Structure formats: structure tokens, C-alpha cells
Amino acid sequence: MKRRVLRLLQRLGLIAPAFRSYERLVALRPQRVTPTDGSPLPPRRLMVHVAGTADADWFLRGGRAGYDAIAAHVPLDELSDVLDFGCGCGRVTRYFRDFPGGVAGSDLSREAIAWCGENLPFGRFETNGLAPPLAFDDDSFDLVYALSVFTHLTADLQLAWRDELRRVLRPGGRLLITTHGRSYVPRLEHAERERFEAGELVVRWGEVAGSNLCSAYHPERYLRDTFADGFAFLELEPEGARGNPTQDLVLLQKT
Ligand SMILES: C[S@@+](CC[C@H](N)C(=O)[O-])C[C@H]1O[C@@H](n2cnc3c(N)ncnc32)[C@H](O)[C@@H]1O
């Protein structure tokens, strides 16, 4: 949607319902794809909610690419329990079907979690609120990944969720997130760009945090100096997310 239209909708207090209608419209696009990974396809509206498009082929390929990006950075065969935070309708979780340990997912969307619960029987799926907590005990996971989730949260929510994910990670456990990094700078307006270059988190449409309209842009300095508090900063791969192009992949380890 054009920014001018978005601003008008914002002034009218209609931004959240208008974005939901936009997602419904995008979901009308027809598709003829049969998954071969053993799990069914979610309804189109849920695919739009996580991928921004109802293109089933991209949903499956992008989900696999997200899984491959995780596997390229974390030795999955050494892990016992994995959490997909902001799992949506399991676009990436579905590829943990043969993971021998515990698989869990959590998301804001009741509809997406209900679909995962019914269709991805190898996992435990829970809903959470916009702000913490999660339904899981302390020290439950060796890996928490959050693909394109921190990209849709305000500054306060970023840090609250970082602390909550740290709580459910075991000591030495890894947190893998994807972010809008330098490759997204051309999208920013002049003042936003200056803040990004000064190392500040930039957030747009914070009033609809948790929706895909709310967009956060993460400079590396913010990630290293602020976000990584309580963690060792292992790496940042520019555009390394693969399944959420062209987001950066950031890997932290609980200290
Ligand atoms: C762009 S989608 C990505 C979904 C999934 N990670 C993937 O890559 O397919 C963002 C997801 O984050 C979820 N989300 C946003 N804010 C959240 C929050 N505070 N807690 C849990 N999930 C959240 C949304 O409901 C949505 O499913």
C-alpha cells in the first residue's frame, strides 16, 4: 500500500482494519500446488499473514529456505528442543517434522496456532500475547528462532521479548533472529536513514505492532550494543535469512 494512503488511513483511525482487508484481498489469488513434505497447505489467508503473498509455491520454497538457513548456522543434530517464536502457520516449523527432539511454536495469531495444532502433530503449539510471557518453563530450549518477527515489533517489545526468549533458553542456548538490515535502507526516508546510520532502531507504524505493517529496521550497532545484552553476539550474516529475503540473520548465544 502507498505511504500516502496509509497516512490518510492512520489519521482516520482505520489502519488496522484496512491492513486486514488488504491481506484478505491478496489471499484471493488462485493456486494449484500440492506439498510433498508430508504436511498440508494452510488456508491462503494464513499464508498471506506470514509470507505477504498467497503464492503456495513460494510459501513452501521460502519455508524450506528458512529451515536451510537455520541449519547452516546451528548444528541441529546437537539440539534437543527447538522453539519457533512467531511461527505463524508453521511455514518453517513444518520442516522440523523429522527432528528427533521436541518442537514447539508460539504466535499471536490464534487462527494460525489452531491450524498448526491440527496439522503439524509433531509439535506443541501455544498462543501468546503481544507482550510476554510465553507458555513455556525456564530453560526449555537449546534453540529459539524468530524469522521476521522482531521486524514487526516496537522498541519496548523488542527488549521485552529478547528477555523472555532468554528466559526459556537453556544456558548456552542460541537465539536466531532475522532483521531488516542495511539492504532495507533504500526504503527509509531521509530522517529515518540518519537514525539508522546513527545506530538507532527505526520503527514505522508502531501502533499496529505485531502486524506485518509495523516495520522495524535494525542497524548492526543497535543489535550489538543494545539487543544482545545477556547474550554473546555470535554472528550477523547480511541477507542471510534466505526464506525472508533480504533480511539479515543474527545469531546470539545465552551467556
Ligand atoms: C512475517 S510473519 C513470519 C512468520 C514465520 N516466522 C515465518 O517466517 O513464516 C510474522 C509472524 O510474527 C507473529 N508475531 C508478531 N508479533 C508477535 C508477538 N508479539 N508474539 C508472537 N508472534 C508474533 C505474527 O502473528 C506472524 O505470524
Q: Is the CB of 89 under 6 A from ligand 1?
A: no
How far, in Å, is the centroid of ligand 1 from the Cα of 67? 16
130 and 209 in contact (C-beta within 8 Å)? yes
For 116-129, write each residue's pLDDT tens digit: 999 999 999 999 99
91 burial level (CB within 10 Å; 0-12, 13-18, 19+): buried
Distance CA 52, CA 58 (A): 10
Q: Minimal CA–CA distance to 111: which of 33, 44, 208? A: 44
Name the pairing type of β-strands 141-146 and 215-217. Answer: unpaired
Nearest residue by C-alpha to atom 27 in ligand 1: 88
Q: Is the CB of 242 under 6 A from ligand 1?
A: no
For 118-160, write each residue's pLDDT tens digit: 999 999 999 999 999 999 999 999 999 999 999 999 999 999 9
84 and 145 in contact (C-beta within 8 Å)? yes
Domains of the chain: 3-254 (3.40.50.150)
Q: What is the pLDDT of residue 33?
A: 86
Q: Is the CB of 240 under 6 A from ligand 1?
A: no
pLDDT over 90 at 73, yes or no: yes
For 185-244, write each residue's pLDDT tens digit: 999 999 999 999 999 999 999 999 999 999 999 999 999 999 999 999 999 999 999 999
Q: What is the pLDDT of residue 60?
A: 96
